[in-house]
Structure 1
Amino acid sequence: MIATLRIGFVLLAFVLLTLSLLPVQLMAIGLGLSLMRRLPRWWHRVMCRVMGLKVSTHGALAAERPLLLVSNHASWKDILVLGSVADVVFIAKSEVRDWPVFGWLARLQRSVFIERAERRKTGAQISDVSSRLVAGEIVVLFAEGTTSDGNRVLPFKSSLFGAASAALAHAPGGMVYIQPVSIAYVGIHGVAMGRYHRPLAAWPGDVALGPHLLGVLRQGAMEVDVVFGDPVAFDASTDRKTTARLMEARVRAGLAAALRGRITR
């Protein structure tokens, strides 16, 4: 009974919050107002609280621009978590555009959709991302290219760093900054998250979204650490594959530290 009431409360809050902010966001996008970058953060912050996601940040978002955030990816909840701590836009696979509810929200947040299977569109898509970076927007790249189990970091795809290279020609001083970010689901109901609850944290691609979403809403009270690493300057002399490996190592180190409780709270 309590779980059912909780699900009903979250869904009601989602509908009321979204419908109240929707016209404002559409107007901001239509008029090109800077509010269109800030409003999604407010939405994500409220929804995190409503869903019981307690987000703690460690380190700081880099002040340098253009800025590309490179993160691990375990679940759709990563969008809520990162979206609640910074004014960001996400790079998402093209299939997300057509997902019920989530695809609509991604479009409202002005996500950049990438069709990885169609190489002929790669140039235009990378150009879109690089133009966002040069315009001062903070772009989030989930460099694994898929979701993991939340306990590890999968190999980063260096090809996804092409947007940073494309932005160099128009970036001030010919420099783009890349910052590693680790997202770790570390606790539930005030207790360290063990193997039993780990499926609530991660959302592998072979698990249906509906049942997973309902499971998360029933539980709530999940603790999440967001670890910001030191940014790295990326210029024309920087090797993309080397940068991908460096970011992978730093994101993996941040995730491991958070899961082992080695981060000062």
Structure 2
Amino acid sequence: MLFVSLGYFPDSNESTSQRIHVQKSLQIKGKTAVVFSHQFMLPFRHDPLLLSRIKPVPGSDQLASLPLNETSILVISAKNCSEEPLLLQSKSIEVDDGVERPCTLEHGGMDILHPAHLVPGEEFKKVFTVIPKVESSCLHLESVSLRWRRNSEMEDLSTSAATQEWVLTKHQLPDVKAELPPLVLNLEFPPYAVLGDPLMYSVKIRNQTRLLQEVKFSLGDAQGFVLSGSHRDTVFVLPKSEHELSYKLVPFASGPHQLP
């Protein structure tokens, strides 16, 4: 609420006239300007096998699980929920230098080179990489810092930055669960193929445990390809070693196709 009180004299003779008071109150409705959201993703063609995702424990906390010593992708979105256009100066994750942290969290690309314009309802996304270093059931992450201010079409960016201060908004990232994946799968194949020319399609299975792992696999056919290789088999992967499944594919139809 905004409250204004005004006192004045009806004439110029203040000694004989009586002061008159006027009071006015105004209700102010506030809105959250920026709303944050996040999403954890796996790298392209890289899939660590996490047991908590395959067999979740009933009644346990639903924390996001990240593979230990593996790179995970964190996409953080900032949405303009106000009715005014905003100007974003920077979006970063601030950490204390010299302090040993249980995970490495860095931005995956270039920072904002110039202030970014964000119209009402628009989202600004930035990609970060997360590498957990310690196995933990509740790993604490850092907070995201966003510097922004209102953007007026009439103002000059070269002069307004010095007169108008930036607003700092922080968003605490949720806790995650870091666990060691027993198996890590990597897919290797070219980004495109020439019609009629064979190409190699391989699946690498890395055993990160100290035990011999038995892996049963099956491969489904895909339209648009003729392939050679085992469709269904059982292989054994030695401890701390890698096993590769290779296939030769020949495309016989043009256009986008799903791989086997």
Q: Which TM class, normalised by the smaller chain length?
A: under 0.3
Question: Normalising by structure 1, what TM-score?
Answer: 0.25
Task: Report 1 or 2 for greater relative contact order, CA contacts < 8 Å, sequence distance ≥ 6.
Answer: 1
Instruction: Name the structure with the higher helix share.
Output: 1
Instruction: Name the structure with the higher strand share.
Output: 2
